[in-house]
Structures are given as structure tokens and as C-alpha cells.
Chains A and B, each alone.
Chain A
Amino acid sequence: MTDKIKSTILFTFIFMFLCYSFYLYKKSYDGTATVSESPADKGKRIWQEKNCNACHQVYGLGGYLGPDLTNIYSSRGEAHIKAFLQSGTNIMPAFALNDDEVSQLLAYLKSMDATGVAAPDKLKINYDGTIER
């Protein structure tokens, strides 16, 4: 294999990769996008600053010590979530969030819930091995 052939393959791959990347950057996904600095956006920042992802999952991604919280908003409701946030559990510390932070975190969980259903048993398996909602 000559250097010219190797370079051609490499640059073709890079070109394809960049096209794919920019397609994904430009594409709009769930249609539930929240405006920057909205309560949901601030709630997302709190989620990250408290490192909730270390124990909890979103769409099955994250830590395994706590449950997946993608659809917690619709399945358990605000009061249930507030109770956990305010008192913690025997594993989860109480994070001492103020009322604004609690409502921002709730707004984030609500916007997350609206993106879709995370439970894998709700997905349909096709004969070709692919899955769909």
C-alpha cells in the first residue's frame, strides 16, 4: 500500500466523519428543547453540579446505585421527588437545596420526562435485530 493510497483513505474517512458529526450537531432531536437560562436549563446545571449522574441513570446512562430517573416525573410526581430531595435516603445525602433549586431541578426532570420513555420493556424488537419505540 503506497503512502498516496493510505492518505487518500485517511482523508476520505476524516471527511465522512466530519460530515456525520456536523449532521448530528445541526439536527434537532426531541422537539422539547428548553431555552437557555430557563428553569429546566438551570435545573440541568444543578443535576450536574451535584453529580446526580454518579448514582442515577438517564436513559440507562449513568451510575447504578440508584434508579433511572428519566420518567420519574410522570411515574411518581412532584411531591415524591421533593420528599427525596429534601430528606435524602439512607444512601443518598440530603443536598440542602433551596426552594428555587428544587423547582429548577423539577423543571429539568419534567423536560427530561417529555423526551420519551426510557423503560427498555417498552421498546419493540425487530426481526433484523434493530429496536424501535
Chain B
Amino acid sequence: MEPLNGNNLGTSSKNKSIGKRYILTGVIILLSAFSFGLVGALQYTSPGLFKNVLSFEKVRPLHVSSAVFWILLAACGSVTHYLAEVKGKLWSVRLSNVQWYLFTGSIILILLSYLFGIFGGREYWEFHPLLAGPIILAWLFFIINVFKSIGSFRNQPVYVWMWMTGVVFFLFTFLESYLWLIPSFRSDVVKDMTIQWKSYGSMVGGWNMLIYGCSIYLMDKISGSQKYSYSKIAFTLYFLGLFNLMFNWGHHIYTLPAPKLIQYISYGVSMTELLLLGRIIYFWRSSVNTLKKNYHILPYRFLFAADLWIFLTLLLAIVMSIPAINIYTHGTHITVAHTMGATIGINSFLLLSFTFDIFNIHQQKVVRQISLGLYLSLASLFIFWLSLIIAGVLRADWQMHSSTVPFSVMMLSLRPYFIVFLISGVALFTGFFIIIFSLLRYHLSQKSVDKTLTLKKIKTAPNVLHN
């Protein structure tokens, strides 16, 4: 069993700063996701707003892609940082730098292309296919770095297995999502949609492998024991998660006239992954003593927040994965509620827990500010989520029982819930803004402290030599 490196002992400053750079870029893009999300919510409540300058077909990809890139960048940064911690150093910091430049450059180009109305027009990856090139290349560099840094596959803890699986599956599914460029895939509408949602379902599983792997590593670090990461139960749960990643994506397309086999496989395999993670966190929390919780107070609080959302999202996922219920929830705001619960409540809170572990914040004032942001985010996210579910239930009722009522009339009846969604969205944005602002301010103040210390060292160096 390899020892945990704890608080970055034995990790060089170059190795430490590269992970942080990914995360800092990620949180800035998260602010972009929230800003465009807010514009989108305004357009829901005031239809036609900004129609001539920033219409919804531009706003939605700006929001969605920013959110996806926040998750990918923060996940890459966390894996990179933890990998350097576990192994002592990263195989190549330079390669990781190149990867960062490729990522950042393509993200800027992608967001700009949306503003100019240039689209590839596929859900999630709505950018022009040419811009996928640098992302594929960057991800290849990431895979090389992960595998080379790990070195030998022998006797590795479960989170290393999860990182290896996650990086490979993300690339496979990302490439798969571009099969539509081949005419034989594109020309058959149902086949195209089946493969598209197959790739997306597994892709989310791929980045979840990276994030959940980091959460297991962090739990080990907080509890000071690696017993769990090498246990039989950890690997059993990992393989169940992997099985889900590969075969449970069908619940996205139950209503599509695709082969019934997909429905049976997905229905049978679905939704064990979140249940399993909830179980892991639940058992872990009970084993952590108060002292350790207090030392890792921010990562712990964010892990706890994610834990709450795992249970809520799990509940919704169970309901939505039953085909007979899915025909009610599919195509309604209940699906959006599920996505928001998973991306904000689980992914973002977990990624922020890694962020605060990596940035190692202990100043009372900063901890208090960030905790305030967290509580505001948690409360507003719940109202936000609830308003979407109610809007979804009403839309489901319209789809199933009142489809003769015009679409616009139905949307008008949902307006009060969209207003609640907008107000709680503003509160959610404020909560996250407090968190991100506190993090950035802390980081900048630390940087200036480091600079002053370096200057002092340089100034005293000749004296030392003279003495």
C-alpha cells in the first residue's frame, strides 16, 4: 500500500501550480456559465428579450458549453494535482501546459463562435466540428500524462483505476459523438440520435469516473486511511459504476423508435452508480473524527453538500429510469431539474471540495465567506430545483392529457414557476459568486505573499554569503 502524500509533501511547485491553473480557469468559465444561464432564465420569463442581439439559440450553448468546460477543466486540474500528489510528480508538466493552452484556446474560440452564430448544432457540443480537433489532441495529451505518471498498473488503489477508465472513456465517447460526420450515420435520423445519446450518456459516466475517483482520494486523505481504496467492496462498486457507464444510457431515448433491446438493457442496469456513491460517502463520514473534519472544514462541507444532492438526484434518477414514468418526465423541465441537480449539486460541489483541498484555505475569514456562499447556494439550488420539477410536472400533464391546448398557452401557465426559477437562479449565482470571488482573492493575496517572501530571500541571500 502506497502512503498518501498528505498536504502536497514531495510535490514540486510546478506540479502544484498546473492543477491550480486548470481549476482557476474552470471557475472563471463557471462564472460565464452562470451569467449566460441568467440571461437564458430572463428570456424564459420575458420572451423575446435580446432577440436581435443574443437570441436563445446563442445563449443556451454559451451556458451549456461553459458549464461542461468548467466540469472538464476542474476535473482535469483535480486529477492532475492529485496524481502528482500520489506519485510525487507528474510525468510531464510541459505536456500538461500544452494541454491547458489547447483547451483554453479552443474554449475561447468556441464561445466566440457562438456569439457570431456559428454552430455545429449538436446538443452539448454545439460548436463547429473543426473546433473538436484541439480538444481531442488536448485529451490525448492528458491520457498520455495520466498513464505515464501512473507507470505500473500493479496494486493500484481504486481511484487510479477510475482515473484511467475515465480518461479513456471520455475520448472514446467524444469521438463517437462525431460519428454523425459519416453520412451513413447521419442519414438515418433515429440511428443518429441513438448513437448521439449513447455517446453522451457514457461521456457523463466518463467524467464522473474522474470526479468520483478524486472524491475517493480526498476521502482517504481526510480520514488518513487508504484501507477503503484497496478493498474488495471499493472495486466491486467501481465495476458496477463502469457497467452503468457502458450500458445505462438508454433512459435518454426510451421514447425513440430504436431497438427495444436498448430499453431493456438500460432499465435493468440503470441508476445504481449514484446510490453506490451515496453509500460510500455515508459510511466514510461516520468514520471521520471531529478534529479531521475541522482541519479539512471546507472540503468536508462541500463533500457533505454533494452528499445531500446525491440523495435528491438519486431519487429523481430512480423515478426517471422507469420507462413507464419516463414517458411523463421525458421532454419536460424535470429532466432539466435532474441535470441541474447532477451538474451543480453533485459535480460542482465535489469539484469545489477538491478545489478547497488543493488551495488549502484555513484563514477563518475566508472560510466564513466561502461557507456563507455555500449555504446560500444550497438553499437557492433547492428552490431552483423544486421550481423546475413543478414546471415539469405541469408540462408532463399537458403532454399526456391536454396536448390540444396550444404550446404557448401551456408555457404561459408555467410563468410563475419560471419567475421563481429566475429569482432562485440569481440567489444561486450570488452564492457561487461569493465562493469564487473569495477563492480568487485568497489566491491573489497568497501570490503576493509568496512574491514578497521570494524578494526577501533574494535580498538576504548576499548577507548570508558575506557572513
What is the chain B residue whose CB lies nearest that of A127?
B324
Among candidates B126, B255, B258, B401, residue contacting A54 with C-beta atoms closer than 8 Å: B126
Q: Is the CB of A61 within 8 A of B193?
A: yes
Tell me the A75-129 residues at the B interface (CB within 8 Å): 90-93, 111-112, 115-116, 118-121, 123, 125-126, 129
Residue of B52, B195, B242 touching A13 (CB-CB under 8 A): B242
Q: Is the CB of B119 within 8 A of A120?
A: no
Q: Determine the chain B residues whose CB is within 8 A of the CB of A33 once the complex forms.
A: 187-189, 191
Q: Complex: how many Å from CA A119 to CA B257?
A: 12
Q: Which residues of B contact A6 (CB under 8 A)?
A: 161, 235
0/1 per residue, B241-264, Cβ < 8 Å to A? Answer: 011001100001111111110111
How far apart sit A121 and B328, CA to CA, in the bound complex (Å)? 9
B57-68 to A contact mask, C-beta < 8 Å, 1/0: 110110000000
Q: Which of A17, A20, A36, A65 contacts B183 (CB 8 A)?
A: A36
Query: Is residue B407 within 8 Å, beta carbon to beta carbon, of the partner chain?
Result: yes
Is A29 a contact partner of B190 (Cβ separation < 8 A)? Answer: yes
Q: Flag if B257 contacts A116 (CB, 8 Å).
A: yes
- On whether the beta carbons of B336 and A64 are closer than 8 Å, the reply is yes
Question: Which chain B positions have C-beta within 8 A of A68?
Answer: 331
Q: Closest chain A residue to B257 by CB distance?
A: A116
Closest to B128 in A: A49
B149 within 8 A of A: no
Q: What interface size band does chain B fall in?
A: 35 or more
Binds A, one of B43-51, B85-93, B362-370: B43-51
A24, A65, A125: the one within 8 Å of B195 (CB): A24
> Is there an interface contact between B330 and A58, defined as CB atoms closer than 8 Å?
no
Q: Convert B179-204 into 0s and 1s, putting 1 for each residue whose CB lies closer than 8 angstroms to a CB of A.
A: 10001111111110111011000000
Chain B residues with CB under 8 Å of A36's CB are 183-184, 186-187
Question: In terms of DSSP, what is the predominant structure of the interface of chain B?
Answer: helix
Say how far B203's CB is from chain A's closest CB, in angstroms: 13
Say whether A25 contacts B195, CB under 8 Å: yes
**Residue B153 CB within 8 A of the other chain:** yes
**Chain B residues closer than 8 Å to A119, beta-carbon distance:** 399, 403
Contact B330 A60 (CB under 8 A): yes
Q: How far apart are the CA atoms of A36 and B189 in the complex, in Å?
A: 12
Q: Is B121 an interface residue (CB 8 A)?
A: yes
Write out the residue numbers on chain B whose beta carbons fall within 8 Å of the beta carbon of A63: 56, 60
Q: Beyond A48-B122, A130-B323, is A3–B155 a contact (Cβ under 8 Å)?
A: yes
Q: A17-B247, A60-B331 are in contact. Are A49 and B191 (CB under 8 A)?
A: no
Q: Establish whether residues B257 and A133, one from each chain, have CB atoms under 8 Å apart when the complex forms.
A: yes
Any A CB within 8 A of the CB of B333: yes
Measured CA separation A47–B395 after assembly (Å):
25
The answer to whether B331 touches A65, judged by C-beta atoms less than 8 angstroms apart, is no
Which residues, 1 to 54 on A, are CB-close (under 8 Å) to B? 1, 3, 6-7, 9-10, 13, 16-17, 20-21, 24-25, 27-30, 32-38, 41, 44, 47-54
Interface size on A, residues (CB 8 A): 67
State whether A118 and B327 are in contact (beta carbons under 8 Å apart), knowing that A21-B198, A44-B186 are contacts in the complex: no
A10 CA to B222 CA, complexed, in Å: 29
Residues on B with C-beta less than 8 A from A25 are: 179, 185, 195
Mask for B104-118, Cβ within 8 A of A = 1, else 0? 000000000000000
Is the Cβ of B61 less than 8 Å from the Cβ of A121? no
Q: Smallest Cβ distance from A133 to chain B, in angstroms?
A: 6
Q: Are A59 and B193 in contact (CB under 8 A)?
A: yes
- Which residues of B have CB within 8 Å of A65? 43-44, 56
Q: Which residues of A contact B55 (CB under 8 A)?
A: 92-93
Given A63-B60, A115-B257, A34-B187 contact (CB < 8 Å)? yes
- Assess A120 versus B400: contact at CB under 8 Å? Given A91-B56, A130-B267: yes
| Interfacial chain A residues near B322, Cβ < 8 Å | 129
A30 touches B239 (CB 8 A): no
- From B60, which residue of chain A is reached at the shortest CB distance? A54
Q: Are A61 and B247 in contact (CB under 8 A)?
A: no
- Interface contact B121-A47, CB-CB below 8 Å: yes
With the chains together, A66 CA to B260 CA distance in Å?
Answer: 29
Contact between B324 and A131, CB atoms less than 8 A apart:
yes
Q: From residue B460, how far is it (CB to closest CB) to chain A in Å?
A: 52
Q: Which residues of B contact A120 (CB under 8 A)?
A: 255, 327-328, 330-331, 399-400
From residue B387, how far is it (CB to closest CB) to chain A in Å? Answer: 14
Q: Please indicate the chain A residues that have their CB under 8 angstroms from the CB of B323 in the complex.
A: 125, 129-131
Q: Sorted from nearest, which 5 A-B pairs have the closest CB atoms?
A: A48-B121, A60-B331, A36-B183, A116-B257, A54-B57
Apart from A32-B188, A63-B60, A130-B264, what are 11 other A-B pairs with CB-CB below 8 Å? A24-B195, A24-B198, A29-B190, A33-B189, A53-B123, A54-B60, A65-B44, A68-B331, A115-B190, A125-B324, A129-B324
Query: Could you give 10 example pairs across A and B, Cβ below 8 Å?
Result: A10-B239, A17-B246, A48-B119, A53-B123, A60-B331, A61-B252, A90-B51, A93-B57, A120-B331, A131-B327
**What residues of chain A have their CB less than 8 Å away from a CB belonging to chain B?**
1, 3, 6-7, 9-10, 13, 16-17, 20-21, 24-25, 27-30, 32-38, 41, 44, 47-55, 57-68, 90-93, 111-112, 115-116, 118-121, 123, 125-126, 129-133
